[in-house]
Homo-oligomer: A and B are copies of this chain.
């Protein structure tokens, strides 16, 4: 059932088996499995996550390669709702472990916000990441190309960039190393720092050895039309010809609500998990981009399967067996 500020009561008086923080590919897959295991769950989704921005989901089995990420999410949401999953648009502010239960505080509504607290036995953290994009005074100019011909994922979109002139946009010297993976797909790489970092002599030499020019002035604007990049103009007036680009500026991790849970195993901003996506906290699971591993829709979907199944097994094994009561005592 879709929840909103108007009908929260029913959810406040309930202990869910699982709260799923994040309604992207991983969270929705988990919700579908949980519901089919007969477990109750609440999905809290802030909206506009990483898969929402994918213009074409080019490598997910079963969907045409022109399917936008938002279609996957919409289909998954309908699927989950048809199975009785509760779904709330909101932002998870804090998860607190209260012993047997998690208390999850959610911000609902941008104006006159409510801050309800929901309770569950298990928590699935599937809030993912969002890629940093170069900040320009006119962000619409960035959005006109990002997800179309300006990519953020080499694994997803290296194929789309093959043998084209490409800009690689970084915000640290170490991210420049992405050039030496991107060159599997294309050797025509111009590296742009957008004025955000300095570059040492060893890296300069390595770039020169590969023939990859380095541009250190800030970007003024992306050029092209109909989402198709034709080049990049820098603040110093330089124009760089490029029909595609890769942004390698790192990501923001949506994990602040977990920082109060003690003794979690972090690797940087990623959670470390076992083969069932279980964190070091026995009732907390992490999926998809939030956990260590490949940031791919297919991986997140499988992670949802794994976490839901592990939780079901545990709840089922702790439950009393269901007997065929009217048969008991009669000869079998």
Residues on A lying within 8 angstroms of B by beta carbon are 25, 28-29, 32-33, 35-38, 58-65, 67, 71-72, 75-76, 79, 82-83, 155, 158-159, 162, 180-181, 183-189, 204, 207-214, 275, 294, 296, 298-299, 301-306, 309, 316, 319, 321-328, 332
Nearest 8 CB-CB pairs, A to B? A211-B327, A302-B302, A211-B324, A187-B322, A36-B159, A211-B328, A29-B61, A213-B332
Chain B's closest residue to A179 (CB) is B321
B residues near A185, Cβ cutoff 8 Å: 38
- Which of B183, B208, B213, B325 is close to A211, meaning CB atoms less than 8 Å apart? B325
Please report the C-alpha to C-alpha distance between residue A29 and residue B299 in the assembled complex, in whole angstroms. 12
* Most central of A28, A65, A76 by chain B CB within 10 Å: A65
- Whether A189 lies near B58 (C-beta < 8 A) is no
Using A33-B59, A62-B67 as known contacts, list a sample of 20 further A-B pairs with CB atoms less than 8 Å apart, ordered by residue number in A. Answer: A25-B61, A29-B61, A37-B184, A38-B159, A60-B62, A62-B63, A64-B79, A83-B159, A155-B309, A180-B321, A183-B321, A187-B325, A208-B332, A210-B321, A210-B323, A294-B306, A294-B309, A298-B302, A302-B302, A302-B303
Query: A275-B275, A298-B304, A299-B302 given as contacts; is B61 within 8 A of A324 (CB)?
Result: no
- Whether B159 lies near A37 (C-beta < 8 A) is yes
- Whether B211 lies near A326 (C-beta < 8 A) is yes
Chain B's closest residue to A69 (CB) is B62
Query: A75-B63, A159-B36, A212-B324 given as contacts; is B298 within 8 A of A29 (CB)?
Result: yes
B residues near A155, Cβ cutoff 8 Å: 309
Q: How many copies does the complex hold?
A: 2
Q: Can you pick out 7 interface pairs between chain A and chain B where the beta carbons lie within 8 Å of each other?
A: A37-B158, A38-B184, A62-B72, A65-B79, A181-B316, A187-B325, A204-B332
- Whether A322 lies near B72 (C-beta < 8 A) is no
Chain B's closest residue to A183 (CB) is B322
Q: How far is the CB of A36 from chain B (nearest CB, A)?
A: 4
B residues near A321, Cβ cutoff 8 Å: 180, 183, 210
Q: How far is the CB of A221 from chain B (nearest CB, A)?
A: 23
Chain B's closest residue to A186 (CB) is B322
- Whether B38 lies near A187 (C-beta < 8 A) is no
Please report the C-alpha to C-alpha distance between residue A212 and residue B327 in the assembled complex, in whole angstroms. 7
B residues near A322, Cβ cutoff 8 Å: 183-184, 186-187
Please report the C-alpha to C-alpha distance between residue A311 and residue B40 in the assembled complex, in whole angstroms. 40
Please report the C-alpha to C-alpha distance between residue A168 and residue B208 in the assembled complex, in whole angstroms. 69
Please report the C-alpha to C-alpha distance between residue A118 and residue B47 in the assembled complex, in whole angstroms. 48
Please report the C-alpha to C-alpha distance between residue A268 and residue B166 in the assembled complex, in whole angstroms. 49
Q: How far is the CB of A62 from chain B (nearest CB, A)?
A: 5
B residues near A159, Cβ cutoff 8 Å: 35-38, 83
- Which of B183, B296, B301, B326 is close to A61, meaning CB atoms less than 8 Å apart? B301
Please report the C-alpha to C-alpha distance between residue A296 and residue B316 in the assembled complex, in whole angstroms. 19
- Whether B76 lies near A62 (C-beta < 8 A) is yes
Please report the C-alpha to C-alpha distance between residue A82 and residue B186 in the assembled complex, in whole angstroms. 21
